Amino acid sequence: METTVLLADPSVSESGKNSRLPVFLRGARAVPFLTVVLAGQLTYSAFEAFKG
């Protein structure tokens, strides 16, 4: 007996399956992800600047 395991994300449409972008950068997830990344970069650069 052989079982089939689906590896694709069911929330991704057919057109999105061929995309080279990771799941967290597709569609409406890109802006929140980039906001968090840029906020982290700003925090880290401010820490490094005032560290001395």
Would 6 be classed as within a structural domain? no
Q: Tell me the DSSP string of 1-52.
A: -------S-TTS-TTTTT--S-GGGSGGGHHHHHHHHHHHHHHHHHHHHHH-
Would 50 be classed as within a structural domain? yes
Q: What average pLDDT score do residues 1-25 get?
A: 69
Would 3 be classed as within a structural domain? no
Would 32 be classed as within a structural domain? yes
Total number of domains constituting the chain: 1
pLDDT at 5 over 90: no
Would 2 be classed as within a structural domain? no
Question: What domain range is 52 assigned to?
Answer: 24-52
Is 23 or 43 the better-scoring residue by pLDDT? 43
Q: Could you read off the pLDDT of 27-39 as tens digits, one per residue?
A: 888 999 999 999 9
Would 29 be classed as within a structural domain? yes
pLDDT at 14 over 60: no
Query: Among 36, 40, 16, which Cα is nearest to 26's?
Result: 16
